[in-house]
Structure 1
Amino acid sequence: MDAALGLGAFSHGTQKETRKHVALLSFQSLGVVYGRISTAPLYVFQMILTEEFISDQTVYEFFSFIFWTLTIISLLKYAFIVLRADDDGEGGPFALYSLLCRHAKVGLLPCDRSADEVMHLDETPEKKSKRDSRARRALQKYKICHYVMLILALFGACMIINDGVFTPAISDVPVPSACAIQIVLFTLQHYGTHKIGFLFAPIITIWLLFISGMGLYNIIHWNPKILYAISPTYMYRFIRNIDRNSWRSLSSILLCIGGSEAMFADLGHFSKKSIKITFASFVCPALILSYAGQSAFISKNWGRRVTDFNHLGKSIPEHARHVFVFLSLFASAVGSQALITASFSIINQCLALGCFPRLKVVHTSEKIHGQVYIPDVNWVLMALSLSVTIGFQSIQRIGYSAAVAVVCGMLVTTCLMSLVIALYWERSLVLSAFFLISFGFIEAMYLSACLWNFHKGAWYLVVLSVLFLTIMLAWHYGTMQKYEFDLQNKVSIEWLTDFGPGLGISRVPGIGFIHTDIISGIPAFFSHFITNLPAFHQVLIFVSFKPLPLPYVSADQRYLIGRVGHKDYKIYRCIVRYGYCDGLGDTNDFEEQIIGSIGEFISLEESDIESLTSPEGRLIAIRTPNEDEKALLSVNSTDSLICPAVSPSKETLAGPSRGIPVKRKKVRFTLPSMSPKMTASARDELQELVDARESGMTYFLGQSHLMVRDGSNILKRMLIAVYVFLDKNSREPPLALDIPHVALVEVGMVYTI
């Protein structure tokens, strides 16, 4: 079982990366991760009002802020500290929250303790050695801390998604052209990070080389002394003479680090080493040269009646300006890619943690599990971004909104990261507080500057944040309430087996698959079904699908099989474990695998004396046997599958009618020839399993109808109403996607919350 933690064909941090692989990922990251921060020179100085340039010393002060903000926030905080806090190769605020949930037990996710024991997520010595500090005990004790952390993580996720809405809209080109560029950009997303990286990386590479080269030219040609502005004394002079207007201009300076959060949020698409090396050795130096060159130009031209002197294009020599126009057009289009892919990563994490409605997630890489594309999210982002472009029609107003999203997302990361330092890395509280105060003070300063421009466009950010937060909180709350209801209303196996023929209960031929989220006891919806329709199948299999924080789970560790009750009942439990990149396959495929795994379990159980007296809950990981050692042999054929059903009931049921055949591919099972390793009782049980399989398969799914108790407050009613709406309009559970309607029984049940 311990091997389950190390499974997978590729996993960040577990497989040593070759130089060739790092170089490849570094090149691709230029087109995906660094598009936003690389195009910031187009509008950072441009968004500062021209009347704020009152002397060449003002330019020195602005450049000093840019240099130190890039160095402290982007390079030190993100590239060298935050990137180390990945969650199995995933980044973003939800990755930090996931680490805290697992290692500090402060999560509010619907999680049964028995599920944690079965999944063996806390078996490694590193995780067992976490000491019970005072801070850990305090966080675990007070429930309010749990809620604050969850809302903080959700808020941070919303800010990254909001940034993914505003960033594509920031452009100097006319509105019709900007809209056309956005449509093309979002249409290309389905090709995946791998292809987009190769397509966009050359553009960003040439762009960075061009603006850094022009920056070096401007430094030499206009004002080499601009490099003196690296001294932090210029920031002190700015703050000493601060007023309302100059303080407001800091919100424009903040945009120079817009996209830094994408370095962490896009981590799942690449690797820590590739992102760190690319930024430290190429992106950051190129940006500093570009800003220094533009500052050198402005310092000598701000008072010479040069119109629009704070635009980057004005600092480009005349003979190279046509190249700049061409490159800036393409770079602006590519600049949004970092936040679009970050939005996909963040929402994929929300889906895994039960905080977002079910959506189709396309894994675009077989090697890197974090490279995902979510079609529905892609088109929603495009629609919202187009609405911003058409509605605002001003780069300043869009930039002010983006600045608020940037700094709020960074503050969330700072808060969660300080907890990770104390609770996961187990460093001193002094170090954790130092991280929080140092970086939090800088980001709070920029947030205060952004709030002066709140009325100029940031109000739309509030609207989007309320929308996304409502969706996330409602889905999380509804999912948690459903899970708790299932745990509280599950029944024991004795309840099911105590029914007998004398009470009118009959067992019909065939196999019944019951899909449930709980891993012990009988789910409430199935007991509800039995109560109203007193019959169940000759063989019952309770199936639970459980994701692991791994890219792949090998076939030898995918299926956990155990019994429910005495072996005469012919009731089994199967937990199917899968990673981020594992496809569940079609119905026939996992049906064949589960039945084959149960056959191996029956064969192995005879030689395991302990299992005969084990209580419910003991499961065995079934390894794939050799062809000559299989307990059941499979033979492919095409036949009509007749799903046995019972009479319809007054309850809300949607299922097959007796005797209705459906043509589909069917795998037949046969027993191997007599083997001395297999006892007679095992062969008899295997033969019963084969006979039941030949009689047909029926799949049971719970169809919940949530209702709020009388007297509940308006907030609870609103959250449940939103959840019900989202549940009706979201993707079906994985098990239901490929099941023929004739073989599906949906059991409707009212959940009173």
Structure 2
Amino acid sequence: MSQNHKNLDKVTAAGLLITLGIIFGDIGTSPLYVMQAIIGKEKIDDEIVFGSLSLIFWTLTLQTTLKYVVLILRADNNGEGGIFALYALVRRHAKWLTIPAIIGGSTLLADGIITPPVSVASAIEGLQLVYPDIQTIPIIITIITILFLVQAFGTNLVGKAFGPIMFIWFSMLAILGLRQIINEPAIFSALNPYHAYRLLFFHQDGFWLLGSVFLCTTGAEALYSDLGHCGRGNIRISWIYVKICLLLNYFGQGVWAISMHGQYLDGRKPFYQLMPDWFLLIGIGIATMATIIASQALITGSYTLISEAIRLTFWPKVRLKYPSDHKGQLYIRSINWLLWAGCVGVVLYFKESANMEAAYGLAITLTMLMTTILAAYYLYTHRFNKAWIVAFLVVYVLIEGAFLAANMLKFTHGGWVSVLIASVIALVMIIWYRSNIIKNRLTEFVKLERYIDGLKELSKDESIQKYSTHLVYMSNAHRVSEIESKVMYSIFEKRPKRADIYWFIHVDITDEPYTMKYKVNIIEPDDVIKVTFKLGFRVEQRINLYFRKVIEEMVKRKEVDIRSRYESLSKQNVTGDFRFVVLERYLSNENKLPFWERLTMEAYFFIKGFTNSEDKWFGLDTSNVKVEKVPLILRPIDNITLERED
């Protein structure tokens, strides 16, 4: 077993506390709204209460515990989890797996927009029990706005308090539930799956209640996504405590609901009915902190998802920032404010948590279905018993298919909002992925050795004004022996660029999250050098800084002389100037492309206009960078008929 896998399975007291704070926020705050969503406008009776509790228990057992905690957590990509990490493990085996990966990733991001509003609103609306006339929308929007504002500064300090707060939250859930259960221990008979069966197949609206029952497991995907932050061992052990606390609270709410036999909820929230009056404001405060932590986890998860999508060429190269030295701490400004705008829009559109619940769950059901498909293929490629793979696939496609069918009822009640958001995200991913395939298919690479003599001659040609002492090009060529033809075009033809040393830098993003390695190939001593960086997909692109470190090492080893070649400056041991050139491609009018490819490329360059330029992505200093626009000619127009007139 590798050291990485040993660390994943390691269990510590500190790790368990951190896991409570990071992993279980979404699933842990679901008692705020699940029972309310299930009972809704139904007349409360024993069949609904016992049946729904039975469904909640078996959903948490089959979906969260068995599928995610026991099975899916096994599939880690160098210690990282999540649907894109799972896709990275199987993508070599079948191209069609891109489809479930994109659908799953886009619906998970859409879920990240609707979860913070529904969680925070469910907690804050408890204030209406104490202050009936209070306006909750401004409070909800203020909390969400502050949450997104602090992201740029990092959440390391605040994050240390997350674990203890969530421990208090889960303990509170258990105690509130136990207070009710002590009076009615017979509620545990709901563990019998027969109650779930009766509700599903004999109650008039039983099957459609699955859409609300599903809300109890919506945070299961986050368990897997945050595998790299906390480790498999810590997640599995802490889930035992979390599940017990959740079930005790759900069953406690069930006891209260039975006491309301024959009545309607009429705006009452089962969760807050468990609290004694003197504790209400304290309970609302703890619930609000728990929902903020849950929202923070989803925001962080969205950043992680986007960073992985960039590596897989599913998303534009937006700038990734690391606001603190804490490992894995990540901030993406564009995604932060897109999420904020989406959250505020959801609050203003739906206004109440009850309305948000009607829209909630549809998108994440699709994510779980896609994870099931990818997981089954992972098991197949890792030579698990085929009978078990078929059983896994059939069982979970049936379960999640039933949840999806029940959730489809929500489409007209607001579910279309999350589907629309997911569709827009999926469209961007498809455009970006397809355009990269089109570009890569027709990007021309040439042998570097063909140009060595030309570069050496150009370097000595004093009839051409010197462009820079050290000229550095960013290259996409994986092979040391190759370079893009456009780079050579830039050096020799666009404007002859005389330099003393030509550097070519290639950045290889690895599947390991925190790799930081480099390799130097001196192709022609003191003339042509290629540097290849191998950076993990969670490492910030700071090429300017890393390249400086490489130069220092090479000077120490006496592999290169970086002093200025100008006679007057060389005598004073002045370091020569470095100039970076980044080639930015645009779609040439000379192209003759099929309609769909042309449309894809037009959309690609339209989206690219709103994203960072290549130099900002690589973290290069703007003072010494030249961005050159070069035409991207994928398929030139031929058969041009022109007549010459004499």
Pairwise TM-score range, normalised by the shorter structure: 0.7 to 0.9
**1:233 to 2:191 alignment:** no
Contact 1:478/1:723 (CA < 8 Å) preserved in 2? yes
- Tell me whether 1:573 sits opposite 2:530 in the alignment: yes
Matches within 5 A, 1:500-579: 510-518=469-477, 519=479, 520-529=481-490, 530-553=492-515, 558-564=517-523, 567=524, 570-579=527-536
Does the CA-based 8 Å contact 1:159-1:409 persist in structure 2? yes
Please say if residues 302 and 309 of structure 1, whose CA atoms lie closer than 8 Å, have aligned partners that are also in contact: no
Separation in structure 1 between the aligned mates of residue 304 and residue 590 of structure 2, nearest angstrom: 36
Give the match's secondary structure for 2:482: coil
Query: Is 2:121 aligned against 1:159?
Result: no
Q: Structure 1 CA distance, aligned partners of 2:616 and 2:451?
A: 26
CA distance in 2, matches of 1:212, 1:379: 36
**Cα shift at 1:28:** 2.1
1:74 paired with 2:64, answer: yes
Residue 727 of structure 1 aligns with which residue?
608
Query: % of aligned pairs identical?
Result: 23
Q: Distance in 2 between matches of 1:501 and 1:305?
A: 88
* 1:47 CA displacement: 1.4
Q: Give the CA RMSD over aligned residues.
A: 3.4
Task: Please name the residue that 2:142 is paired with.
Answer: 180
CA contact (8 A) 1:32 1:193 kept: no
2:210, 2:406 within 8 Å by CA — same for their partners in 1?
A: yes
Residue from 353, 359, 376 that aligns with 1:418: 376
What amino acid is the match of 2:370? V
Q: Flag the 1:417–1:49 CA change in 2: closer, same or farther, 3 A.
A: same
Q: Distance in 1 between matches of 2:98 and 2:8?
A: 33
For the residue of structure 2 that corresponds to 1:359, the secondary structure is coil
Alpha-carbon offset, residue 23 of structure 1: 2.2
Partner of 1:271: 231
- 8 Å Cα contact 1:348-1:361 kept in structure 2: yes
Q: Is the 8 A contact 2:456 2:527 kept in 1?
A: no
Q: Determine which of 177, 201, 205 is the counterpart of 1:215.
A: 177
* Partners of 1:482 and 1:66 in 2: CA distance: 49
> Which position in structure 2 is the counterpart of 1:435?
392
Q: Which string of whole-angstrom CA distances, capped at 9 and with x for unpartnered residues, describes residues 314-366 of structure 1? A: 23344543433333333333332332221111111112222211222233565
Check whether the contact 1:513–1:542 (CA below 8 A) recurs between aligned residues: yes
Question: How do 1:49-64 and structure 2 match up within 5 A?
Answer: 49-53=39-43, 55-64=45-54
Residue 301 of structure 2: which of 342, 350, 366 is its match? 342
Tell whether the 8 Å contact from 1:169 to 1:389 is kept in structure 2 after alignment: yes
Q: Which residue of 1 aligns with 2:330?
A: 372
Q: Is the 8 A contact 1:643 1:742 kept in 2?
A: no
The verdict on how the C-alpha distance between 1:348 and 1:695 changes in structure 2, with shifts beyond 3 A counting, is: closer
Q: How far is the alpha carbon of 1:259 from its aligned partner?
A: 0.9
Residue 226 of structure 1 contacts residue 292 of structure 1 at CA under 8 Å; is this kept in 2?
A: yes
Instruction: Report the equivalent of 1:631.
Output: 558
Inter-CA distance 741–311: structure 2 relative to 1 (3 Å threshold): closer
The 1:706–1:642 alpha-carbon spacing in structure 2 relative to 1, beyond 3 Å, is farther
Change (3 A) 1:511 1:464: same
State the AA in 1 paired with 2:423: V
User: Is the Cα–Cα contact under 8 Å of residues 251 and 450 in structure 1 kept in the other structure?
Assistant: yes
1:241 Cα deviation (Å)?
Answer: 0.8
CA distance in 1, matches of 2:499, 2:42: 79
State the Cα distance separating 1:699 from its structure 2 match.
2.1
Q: Distance in 1 between matches of 2:155 and 2:237?
A: 19
Match for 2:418 among 453, 458, 461? 461
Which SS does the other structure have where 2:51 is aligned?
Answer: helix
Return closer, same or farther for 1:53/1:534 CA change in 2, 3 Å cut-off: same
What is the TM-score of this pair, normalised by structure 1? 0.74
1:547 is displaced (CA, Å) by 2.2
- Between the two proteins, the alignment pairs up a number of residues equal to 613
Aligned to 2:317: 358
Counterpart pick for 2:402 among 438, 445, 448: 445
Unaligned ranges ≥5, structure 2? 126-135, 635-646
Deviations, residues 276-303 of structure 1 (Å, cap 9, x unaligned): 22112x1100001011111122123222
Would you say 1:493 and 2:449 are equivalent positions?
yes
Matched residue SS, 2:36: coil
Structure 1, unaligned stretches of length 5 or more? 107-138, 140-145, 600-626, 645-658, 662-667, 671-690
- Contact kept, 8 Å, 2:90 with 2:378, in 1: the verdict is yes
Matched-pair contact (CA < 8 Å) for 2:76–2:86: yes
For residues 207 and 498 of structure 1, the distance between their equivalents in structure 2, rounded to whole angstroms, comes to 70
Rounded Cα–Cα distance in structure 1 between residues aligned with 2:181 and 2:271: 14
Q: Determine helix, strand or coil for the equivalent of 1:372.
A: coil
Deviations 1:607-663 (A, max 9, x none): xxxxxxxxxxxxxxxxxxxx7xx326999xxx9x8999xxxxxxxxxxxxxx9x9xx
SS of the residue aligned with 1:426? coil
- For the 8 Å contact 2:515–2:535, the answer to whether it is kept is yes
| Shift in alpha-carbon separation, 1:342–1:335, aligned structure 2, 3 A | same
One-letter code of the match for 1:45? M
Whole-Å separation in 2 of the counterparts to 1:207 and 1:304: 29
The TM-score, its normalising length taken from structure 2, stands at: 0.86
- In 2, Cα distance between the equivalents of 1:309 and 1:13? 47
Choose 253-262 or 309-318, whichever is displaced more: 309-318
Equivalent of 2:580 in 691, 699, 721: 699
- CA offset at residue 266 of structure 1? 1.9
Distance 1:527 1:387 in 2: 49
Check whether the contact 1:632–1:669 (CA below 8 A) recurs between aligned residues. Answer: no
Report the counterpart of residue 257 of structure 1 in structure 2: 217
Question: Any conservation in 2 of the 1:186–1:382 contact (CA below 8 Å)?
Answer: yes
Residue 580 of structure 1: how far off its partner (Å)? 4.4
Distance of 2:352 and 2:566 partners within structure 1:
62
User: In 2, Cα distance between the equivalents of 1:260 and 1:483?
Assistant: 37
CA offsets, 1:175-196, max 9 Å, x none?
1111111112222333545434
